[in-house]
Amino acid sequence: MTQSYYGLENHGFSNLEREYWNLSTPSLYEQIIRFREGVIAHLGPAVIRTGQHTGRSPRDKFIVKEPSTEKSIWWGDVNRPIDAEHFAGLKQRLLAYFQNRAAFVQDLYVGWDPAYRLPIRVVTETAWHSLFARNMFVQPTPEELTRHVPEYTVIDAPSFHALPALDKVNSSAFILVNFAEKLILIGGTSYAGEIKKSIFSVMNFLLPFKDVLPMHCSANYGKNLDDTAIFFGLSGTGKTTLSADSTRTLIGDDEHGWSDRGVFNFEGGCYAKVIRLDPDGEPEIFQTTRRFGTILENVVVDADSRHIDLDDATHTENTRASYPLSHIPNASDKGFGGHPKNIFFLTADAFGVMPPIARLTPEQAMYHFLSGYTARVAGTEKGMGSEPQATFSTCFGAPFMVQYPSRYAELLGKKLEEHKSAVWLINTGWTGGPYGVGQRMKLGYTRAMVRAALSGALADVPTVPDPVFGFLVPQSVPDVPVEVLNPRQTWADPEAYDRQAARVAELFNNNFKTFEADVTPAVRAAGPRPR
């Protein structure tokens, strides 16, 4: 147990029953069992139930509106304000709640690049949230721990609930970010993803001031760092699956920065969806669910045998595994890659009109980056129904974009111009019709398309402009049936496809009106044109 000289009294804590500093994974396992927070499953993963909240609660996230940062923040439905007075009142009660209770502390870093890494501290009331933080962020060396001073601190208490009328929040759950105090308060929810996503929001705010593009993407590289690829996409579109390729080295599965030195991972671990995980299609991720040190959230486990059932969605469709990068056999131990040679925009198109692969011009890349079209899969967030919902999520991560979208788009455009990265759209969603009629694109086909793009096999393949969306669709891809490449040909009724494509194009154009004033005429013209 290594303790920093910078104690918890600096954050306002007092009269704690006990402080657990930077416990190792085995020690945290012991505390998880001691406090009955979860059970140990066959082969070693810790299985936890998160209770009412099995996904993020976006309407419970607020940012403190104060003079030093308010002009830089994209206020609206995503970044909703709370005043400093109500933040202070809730903070005072939260600190009082910790009196005569134990606190688990993890001192960590966000970001593998020393030039941009952020020292953080995560203080939690549960051992398993402490293990989650230890899995997900970059662990300092023992020597670094003794002198660790956090720039940002997360105080996390799932069993402490806000009073909405008093605290001016939406519900008893809350995620409050205060950039002036460099402090994040989380309570009323046991969903551990709020910890990592709140820190992602912090990086999204800080890094653009340093001309670094923060990205909601996974990343890997081939035989050398010059063959780096990044994969943008929301939960359920395949970021984790497609980047965990046994023939390539994984940099990270979710959050990265793109600096003048290359791409670097923010995290020290992965947070993968595991519902109905295919041991043949996703063997690397599947094996992590049978490893000591992995946390399985809301996965069903047999009370007697302690065997898990990844196909059982009794608790939620959003079952998750948190595990350190070292659990992936081909993961980088440096967390760093070169400038991306290929960039993939992943979408799970519920309407079934997008081609499974297409090449984008730089202007189209800017357009689709700002649009961030996908379909959110049921269960990823609280309050969603049983059907996927088509949505537009700016920069493929609107819930975590704190500055104005134009700032992120400007950084992307600048880097595309400088490094000449190839940009591809990959539809991992539906073919042969919309959701409920067609079927999900086969993972084997998607992998073959990605491999072909990465290898350069598509460089000389003839392409045809999509008549509605405009991007260039390859006419052949190794190991993929030709008829799959043209979505109109996969529909039983081509005219029904035309109507659906026109509908989606109209959705794109209506959504992009928000950004028209902030982009060039070439980017505005890069959107779809209904026939």
33-47 pLDDT per residue, tens: 999 999 999 999 999
Instruction: Please state, for a pLDDT cut of 70, what percent of the chain lies above it.
Output: 97
Q: With residue 129 as reference, give the H or E element that holds it.
A: helix 127-136
Helix (H, G, I), strand (E, B) or coil at 275: coil
Predicted confidence at residue 42, as pLDDT, reads 98
Residue 241 clears pLDDT 90, i.e. is over it: no
- Our CA angle for 427, 433, 434, nearest 5°, is 75
Banded model confidence at residue 245, pLDDT cuts 50, 70, 90: confident
Per-residue b or e along 142-153, where b marks 16 or more CB atoms closer than 10 Å to that residue's CB:
eeebeebebebb
Q: Are 64 and 176 in contact (CB under 8 A)?
A: yes
Mean pLDDT is lowest, of 98-107, 118-127, 374-383, 489-498, for 374-383
Residue 56 appears among annotated catalytic residues:
yes
Residue 524 appears among annotated catalytic residues:
no
> Could you tell me whether strands 389-392 and 439-440 are parallel, antiparallel, or unpaired per DSSP bridges?
unpaired
Residue 254 appears among annotated catalytic residues:
yes
Q: Are 207 and 193 in contact (CB under 8 A)?
A: no
Give dist(CA 335, CA 251) in Å, integer: 5
Determine which one of 121, 197, 327, 341 is catalytic. 197
Predicted confidence at residue 383, as pLDDT, reads 47
Banded model confidence at residue 388, pLDDT cuts 50, 70, 90: low
Predicted confidence at residue 384, as pLDDT, reads 43
Banded model confidence at residue 236, pLDDT cuts 50, 70, 90: confident
Q: Are 219 and 243 in contact (CB under 8 A)?
A: yes
Banded model confidence at residue 380, pLDDT cuts 50, 70, 90: very low
- The predicted-structure confidence for 57-99, as pLDDT tens digits, reads as follows 999 999 999 999 999 999 999 999 999 999 999 999 999 999 9
Residue 270 clears pLDDT 60, i.e. is over it: yes
Determine which one of 11, 239, 341, 382 is catalytic. 239
Residue 320 appears among annotated catalytic residues:
yes
Determine which one of 196, 273, 320, 382 is catalytic. 320
Residue 153 clears pLDDT 90, i.e. is over it: yes
Asked whether the CA dihedral 359, 365, 367, 371 is positive or negative, the reply is positive
Closest CA to 215 of 88, 377, 400, 362: 400
Residue 239 appears among annotated catalytic residues:
yes
Q: Which CATH architecture has domain 8-35+58-190?
A: 3-Layer(aba) Sandwich (3.40)
Residue 386 clears pLDDT 60, i.e. is over it: no
Amino acid (1-letter code) at residue 222: G
Residue extents of the structural domains in the chain: 8-35+58-190, 213-266+334-524
Predicted confidence at residue 234, as pLDDT, reads 78
Task: Tell the residue number behind the tokens 């940009």, with chain if given.
Answer: 423
Residue 382 clears pLDDT 60, i.e. is over it: no
Banded model confidence at residue 235, pLDDT cuts 50, 70, 90: confident
Supply the mean pLDDT for the chain: 94
Determine which one of 218, 228, 235, 347 is catalytic. 235
Determine which one of 240, 241, 371, 380 is catalytic. 240
Distances (CA, A) of 404 to 57, 396, 407: 22, 14, 6
Give DSSP secondary structure letters for 476-512.
Answer: -BTTB-HHHH-HHHHSS-HHHHHHHHHHHHHHHHHHH
Q: With residue 231 as reference, give the H or E element that holds it.
A: strand 228-232
Q: Which residues pair with 424 in a beta bridge?
A: 344, 359
CATH top-level class of 213-266+334-524: alpha beta
Closest CA to 157 of 90, 254, 240, 231: 90
Give dist(CA 302, CA 41) in Å, integer: 9
Predicted confidence at residue 230, as pLDDT, reads 97
Q: Are 301 and 307 in contact (CB under 8 A)?
A: yes
Residue 334 appears among annotated catalytic residues:
no
pTM for the whole structure: 0.93
Q: Are 415 and 426 in contact (CB under 8 A)?
A: no
Predicted confidence at residue 327, as pLDDT, reads 96
Residue 381 clears pLDDT 50, i.e. is over it: no
> Per-residue pLDDT averaged across 213-221, rounded?
96
> Per-residue pLDDT averaged across 192-218, rounded?
97
Predicted confidence at residue 239, as pLDDT, reads 84
> Per-residue pLDDT averaged across 465-475, rounded?
95
472: left (phi over 0), alpha (psi -120 to 50) or beta: beta
Predicted confidence at residue 519, as pLDDT, reads 93
117 CB-near residues (< 8 Å, 6+ apart): 109, 110, 111, 138
Give DSSP secondary structure letters for 144-177.
Answer: HHHT---SEEEEEETT----HHHHT-SSS-EEEE
Q: With residue 90 as reference, give the H or E element that holds it.
A: helix 84-98
Determine which one of 56, 327, 341, 359 is catalytic. 56
Predicted confidence at residue 374, as pLDDT, reads 86
Q: Which residues pair with 331 in a beta bridge?
A: 250
Residue 316 appears among annotated catalytic residues:
no
Predicted confidence at residue 376, as pLDDT, reads 62
